[in-house]
Structure 1
Amino acid sequence: MQQQSTPPSTAPAAVIDVEQAEAALVEHYPRLVRLAYLVLPPGLGRNRRVLTAHSVVQRALPRGRTADAPAPVPAQRDSAGRTGDPGFAYVRLKVLRSALEAGLPLRRAAWPKRAQLPPLLPQVWGLRLFPKSGGADELALDQQLSALSGPARAAYVLRGLERLDDAAVRAVLTEAGCTQEDAAAALAEARGMAADAGSCTELLESPEFDPCSLHARPTDLMRRRQHLKAAIAAVAATLVCGALLGLPGEGWAPDGAAAPPYAKNPAGQAALNPAKLRRVAPDAWKTSARTDFSVWPARGSLTGDKDLLRRALAVWARPGGSVKVSATPGTPAGAPPGPPQLLYAGELDQARVVLLYDGLRIVRYAEPKSGTSGAALDFARVDGAADAQSGAVVMDRADGNVRYLTAPWVAKAATRDLLKPAAGASALSRTKDGVTAPFPSPALATSCTSWNALALTDSTGTRLTTDLGELVPAHLTSGSPTAPREARPADWATTACSLSAARSHGVRSVNSWAYARQALPEGNGTAEWWCTRADTWRGVGPRTLALFRAPGANTAVVAAKSQSSPACGSRQERVLAGVRWKSREGAWYLVAAGSRGVNSVTASGRSARGNVLAVRLARGAEVSLSGRSAQGAKVRPLR
């Protein structure tokens, strides 16, 4: 094996004192954190990798006053041309060892290593932190690194970022805990990546991999408010249960993060028995007359884990103070009335997930793979879900992405960008259990430059749904509210951004309807009028928007909105709305349009036959708007 030429090295000191290691850590802190970030497992997610990288470096100092120096390796020079000192070599070795340990799987027969646990410090509450985004080359390199093993990533980074030759890399990996065979295999795997040394160094030093220069975004604000209210209620419940613990009884049961039981009820105890969970046969949906959650089979690798299922049921009935509880509006969060149906139990990334269904609600229980601290419980109402609303359930949201568990009858899954209908569908891979690959979620986006929809295809056709922050995605339809049809991406290209107003409101379906076209005054072209109506699972509080798109605009703007109007719905199709509009010549107009069934429109003392009207007015003038139906009934504007 041909190795790079390195200058002669001098053996480092036999003992490293804490001051020498601290000086090296402070001087080279950004370089060490970048090294840890690149070697840590990509499956942690960008936010947790950033925090873990800082934690690993900050724990790299010797525990005592001194420590043994690492075995001598050929010296190398950094980008400034300085030869590395023994203190830096010691700290780098400690960082590398901890980063490699973080990627080891947890074993039941052994205590977890410190690096395998979530970092206690540093922690950032209420924010997601991630490095600046790079270009296509950085993205390609990140994907290549994620395909390597931990030691191979370390070898690649030591060669490219630290500029060590193969002998030095092998020595450092051996010191970090790899065997000679593993170190040699890691080197061979790293050399197999198609990147020359110059471009490798340039890419590894880019802002894409700099955990010290970060972007900050908020976590889910709506969920934080819900979690705060739930936490206050949980603390009160915990205090009551804590007082009851002093009474004679059995004390804590093996129920994980659940609160202690406070009463013995035979029916309630039966509902919490994992042996009594309802399980549907894998092929039951093929012969059933129903296509809803009641015919979903139990899937996942942990459907036989009775301890996990017992914890999920116990936490459902009695969520402890440490459990993060959320529920969509109008969804009761009480215990199951009887043994629920098991839909899924398995591992997903760094968590165990259980999905349950009791005929009224979908309940998702999630806990970290190590322990039960940080468990989460989410409720969503799904009563009366038809095949269009029972095609998928959210499994996980992380790093701006969402993953779904799809119904057993779904043949294909794909994503469509509603703002780019001509772009076509992007196929979405799924596991054998029906869990999709992650893709960007519009519910977590901070701007509306794209809007992803999930396209599910079965034997009856393709349906579009989208993530609005609930456990079940909202079904998208189009056309007249009295006879809606399955939506196509082109139906939502104008109005997709209006869906952001329906996030986290318990939305079941949203319809988009182009109800009028209007020729604007002064030859300014033709405008379009749209109506979107979001119906909820609880049947009340629909959100209705009237939207106006001027000629040449890519998206529509809100002209009027209502929280409780029957307009633009199956009970009352008629809708009327107006908006102030400025012509190219600078004149202000009130333009208004009604749907079919509106025979005249009146505003500012002027009337027009038909369903559209344009009246010139002063910019700040007050104006009233109304209409008449064919039968002479008054039609009020949407408000």
Structure 2
Amino acid sequence: MQSQDVAKRPAPGTAADRVVDVEQAEAALVEHYPRLVRLAYLVLPPGLGRGRRVLTAHALVQRALPRGRASAPVIPAQSTGRDGDPGYAYVRLQVVRTALEAGLPLRRRAWPKRAQLPPLLPQVWGLRLFPRSGGADELALDQLLSTLPGPARAAYVLRGLEKLPDGDVRKVLTGAGVEPDDVDEALREAETIPAARYPLLDSPEFDPCSLQARPTDLMRRRQHGKAALAAAVALGVCGALVALPGDGWAPDGAAAPPYAKNPAAEAALDPGRLLKVSPVAWKTSARTDFSVWPARGALVRDEALLRRALAVLARPGATVRVSATPDTPAGGPSGPPQLLYAGDVDNARVVILYDGLRIARYAEPKGGTAGAALDFARVDGASGAESGAIVLGRADGNVRYLTAPWVTEAGERDLTKPGAGMMGLTITDGITSPLSSPATRTGTCTTWNVLQLTDASGSHLLTDLGELVPARLTAGRPSSPKSAAGAEALKTWAPFACSLADTRGQGVRTVNVWSYTRQSLPDATGSAEWVCTRAETWRGDGTRVLAQFRTPGGLFGAAVAKAGDVPSCGPRDPHVLAGVLWKSEAGTWYLLAAGDKGTRSVRATGGVTGSADGNLLAVRARQGAKADLKGTLKDGRPVGGLH
């Protein structure tokens, strides 16, 4: 266990020590600031809450500089750019020491240490800042770390994040003031968490430099502001009355109660008033959306669980991890929401609610409410295939879905291999068996697994992009896209499936791929394919258009142009023009440009000049040249090239 007192900083006194000055430590701090803040965030006790951990981590790192010249034990950092750097070793030691101090309990007869107090700076008013929420793996790791005492948590992080061997971990903990006996115990306790989870320490879940911002509890803040104003007014009135001659205080006044009851808000917090749709309502309804989903799961009658979910939905506490797709309003519903699911999913209890605008997913560990999470996704206007599935949970790189009651078959297929066929998934009470998810995958993309659902209208493809509701995939001309489950659509998607990674976490509703033309290459080696993909979001704006180019024999396409919030390649303006510098097998560089079949002419200006009738252009160019593309449509309208 960690001792209640942390030793003072080690003084120089051995030949093994190196002298570090302020400039050297500052250079290491600035260069490796994101890693140091992540280290502090992971070592700090999770009980502080995500928002306070973020600010405290930044404060501890910014206070880690020495006041003058100091000594630092030679503890190698094991990574390029930090190996053997005494400045980094010194700053890291101070970060670990103060992060451990922050986890010590306050004592009555001792002054609190600076690290135990909330940071004065940095400070943010009116906003809650926290890292992006990860998957079930990151949540499970955070819960496991919260069960360890501070030194054991630091030992695990130094092993996994800093890649230090046990001998150097021992030096850091001893230098941070942990007693030798406690260091041995910390190393043993750190081994209770598998080393296989080390890569998760680099997850965005634990990155305090890449943050989400949400407002604080607006109602509570407003109430506190009104209360402070009322107190100031009352104090002034009381002072005036005391100064008046006579009795001073008047009899009872016409004072209103401090809080007026809101029947709609009370009803929204009552689990007995949750809307539960009949299991057969969808069979006779003309609607095919979330409003006709029945309530499923083994815990739909667990009022205690439902009450907690509704309370968190209305007023999430500081320790609850809240995430939402972009521009999705947070806060409680205006009335009782509809219950879609309540049950056990892996190691969590999950409740899914729908209020006509949003899907809300509340999840808490089976062992308690510490580490609860609340996720929102906007789904207004969802119908048919767009309301075919909701993410129940993610674990070990897999995802499980709750499917619509009208789904008759589910399967998994690799979008990069159109001829590989579909692998069937079992559906039990609407829940699919686990399938591989590309949502949090890192590294080189070689596969992209998607969900295929079949209902009375046909088969549809959905992909997990890291949010509550998977995005629907379509293919074809933007004015009339079709399901991507057909054979031709699968062939079109295959070389460009990995480009979906560019749309993760953006609140995407649908992604359409359109092979708008082919172009014969100047060296007579075949023809290249030009494709545009367009991702539409639930909020309407934030669309992402990507033009891609694939040469003969290429397994994957290359993105050559990208644009956001433009009508190109969409239902309002189904036209596109893009270009790329291409090197032939003979070593000659060309500017290739292509528009869709509705393009009458193409012209290049700037670093490359040339023009051509029709929708294709190929002119010689220099390596690295830049050009502007302009086109004219057959109806006379101009069209600009995507950049």
Same fold (TM over 0.5): yes
Distance in 2 (CA, whole Å) between partners of 1:129 and 1:408 is 44
* Matching residue within 216, 226, 234 for 2:199: 216
Contact residue 293 and residue 340 of structure 2 kept, 8 A = yes
Contact residue 413 and residue 451 of structure 2 kept, 8 A = yes
> Cα RMSD (Å) of the superposition?
3.3
Q: Which residue of 2 aligns with 1:294?
A: 291
Contact residue 302 and residue 345 of structure 1 kept, 8 A = yes
The C-alpha deviation readout for 1:265-300, integer Å capped at 9, x for no partner, is 221111111111111000000010001000000000
Distance in 1 (CA, whole Å) between partners of 2:276 and 2:195 is 49
Distance in 1 (CA, whole Å) between partners of 2:346 and 2:459 is 29
**Secondary structure class of the residue paired with 1:396:** strand
Q: Which residue of 2 aligns with 1:627?
A: 631
Q: Which residue of 2 aligns with 1:614?
A: 618
Q: Which residue of 1 aligns with 2:603?
A: 602
1:463-482 aligned at under 5 Å gives the runs 463-482=460-479
Q: Which residue of 1 aligns with 2:540?
A: 539
Q: Which residue of 1 aligns with 2:446?
A: 449
**Secondary structure class of the residue paired with 2:432:** coil
1:612–1:222 distance in 2 versus 1, CA, 3 Å? farther
**Secondary structure class of the residue paired with 1:590:** strand
1:419–1:262 distance in 2 versus 1, CA, 3 Å? farther
Q: Which residue of 2 aligns with 1:565?
A: 566
Q: Which residue of 2 aligns with 1:438?
A: 434
* Matching residue within 352, 358, 363 for 1:361: 358
**Secondary structure class of the residue paired with 2:385:** coil
Confirm whether residue 510 of structure 1 aligns to residue 511 of structure 2. yes
Distance in 2 (CA, whole Å) between partners of 1:128 and 1:520 is 53
Q: Which residue of 2 aligns with 1:282?
A: 279
1:541–1:117 distance in 2 versus 1, CA, 3 Å? closer
1:102-181 aligned at under 5 Å gives the runs 119-121=147-149, 122-123=152-153
Distance in 2 (CA, whole Å) between partners of 1:512 and 1:127 is 45
**Secondary structure class of the residue paired with 1:216:** helix
1:395–1:262 distance in 2 versus 1, CA, 3 Å? farther
Confirm whether residue 417 of structure 1 aligns to residue 414 of structure 2. yes
What is the letter of the counterpart of residue 637 of structure 1? G
Distance in 2 (CA, whole Å) between partners of 1:413 and 1:518 is 38
Q: Which residue of 2 aligns with 1:554?
A: 555
Confirm whether residue 638 of structure 1 aligns to residue 621 of structure 2. no
What is the letter of the counterpart of residue 204 of structure 2? L
The C-alpha deviation readout for 1:362-384, integer Å capped at 9, x for no partner, is 00001111221111000000000
Contact residue 160 and residue 195 of structure 2 kept, 8 A = no
Q: What displacement does 1:243 show?
A: 13
Alignment coverage as a number of residue pairs: 434
Contact residue 479 and residue 511 of structure 1 kept, 8 A = yes
Distance in 2 (CA, whole Å) between partners of 1:462 and 1:223 is 38
What is the letter of the counterpart of residue 531 of structure 2? W
Q: Which residue of 1 aligns with 2:34?
A: none
Confirm whether residue 394 of structure 1 aligns to residue 380 of structure 2. no
Contact residue 128 and residue 217 of structure 1 kept, 8 A = no
The C-alpha deviation readout for 1:617-638, integer Å capped at 9, x for no partner, is 1113332211111122221112
Q: Which residue of 2 aligns with 1:327?
A: 324
* Matching residue within 292, 299, 317 for 2:314: 317
Q: Which residue of 2 aligns with 1:405?
A: 402
Distance in 1 (CA, whole Å) between partners of 2:159 and 2:531 is 36
1:565-604 aligned at under 5 Å gives the runs 565-603=566-604, 604=608
Contact residue 599 and residue 631 of structure 2 kept, 8 A = yes
**Secondary structure class of the residue paired with 2:523:** helix
What is the letter of the counterpart of residue 638 of structure 2? K
**Secondary structure class of the residue paired with 1:389:** helix
Q: Which residue of 2 aligns with 1:23?
A: none
1:334–1:579 distance in 2 versus 1, CA, 3 Å? same
What is the letter of the counterpart of residue 602 of structure 2? V
Distance in 1 (CA, whole Å) between partners of 2:318 and 2:218 is 5
How much identity, in percent, do the aligned residues show?
57
What is the letter of the counterpart of residue 341 of structure 1? Q
The C-alpha deviation readout for 1:427-461, integer Å capped at 9, x for no partner, is 11222x21112222111111311101100011111
Contact residue 515 and residue 530 of structure 1 kept, 8 A = yes
Distance in 2 (CA, whole Å) between partners of 1:332 and 1:416 is 34
Q: Which residue of 2 aligns with 1:256?
A: none
Q: Which residue of 2 aligns with 1:339?
A: 336
**Secondary structure class of the residue paired with 2:384:** coil
1:238–1:308 distance in 2 versus 1, CA, 3 Å? farther
**Secondary structure class of the residue paired with 1:555:** coil
What is the letter of the counterpart of residue 487 of structure 1? A
Distance in 1 (CA, whole Å) between partners of 2:196 and 2:278 is 52
1:412–1:574 distance in 2 versus 1, CA, 3 Å? same
Contact residue 204 and residue 210 of structure 2 kept, 8 A = no
Distance in 2 (CA, whole Å) between partners of 1:213 and 1:325 is 27
1:29-68 aligned at under 5 Å gives the runs none
Distance in 1 (CA, whole Å) between partners of 2:530 and 2:393 is 36
1:282–1:329 distance in 2 versus 1, CA, 3 Å? same
Distance in 2 (CA, whole Å) between partners of 1:616 and 1:230 is 49
Q: Which residue of 1 aligns with 2:137?
A: none
Distance in 2 (CA, whole Å) between partners of 1:226 and 1:346 is 35
Q: What displacement does 1:596 show?
A: 1.8
Q: Which residue of 1 aligns with 2:20?
A: none
Q: What displacement does 1:218 show?
A: 5.2
Distance in 1 (CA, whole Å) between partners of 2:158 and 2:332 is 32
How high is the TM-score relative to the length of structure 2?
0.63
* Matching residue within 371, 383, 406 for 1:374: 371
**Secondary structure class of the residue paired with 2:375:** strand
Q: What displacement does 1:325 show?
A: 0.2
**Secondary structure class of the residue paired with 1:449:** coil
Distance in 1 (CA, whole Å) between partners of 2:580 and 2:147 is 53
Question: Which ranges in structure 2 are unaligned for 5 or more consecutive residues?
Answer: 1-41, 43-142, 162-191, 231-257
Q: Which residue of 1 aligns with 2:520?
A: 519
Distance in 1 (CA, whole Å) between partners of 2:144 and 2:629 is 65
Contact residue 223 and residue 326 of structure 1 kept, 8 A = no
Q: Which residue of 2 aligns with 1:40?
A: none
Contact residue 463 and residue 473 of structure 2 kept, 8 A = yes
What is the letter of the counterpart of residue 505 of structure 2? S
Contact residue 522 and residue 583 of structure 1 kept, 8 A = yes
**Secondary structure class of the residue paired with 1:574:** coil
What is the letter of the counterpart of residue 336 of structure 1? P
**Secondary structure class of the residue paired with 2:431:** coil
1:217-236 aligned at under 5 Å gives the runs 217=200, 221=204, 228-229=211-212, 233=216
**Secondary structure class of the residue paired with 1:631:** coil
What is the letter of the counterpart of residue 304 of structure 2? D
Contact residue 230 and residue 326 of structure 1 kept, 8 A = no
1:594–1:619 distance in 2 versus 1, CA, 3 Å? same
1:322–1:615 distance in 2 versus 1, CA, 3 Å? same
**Secondary structure class of the residue paired with 1:311:** helix
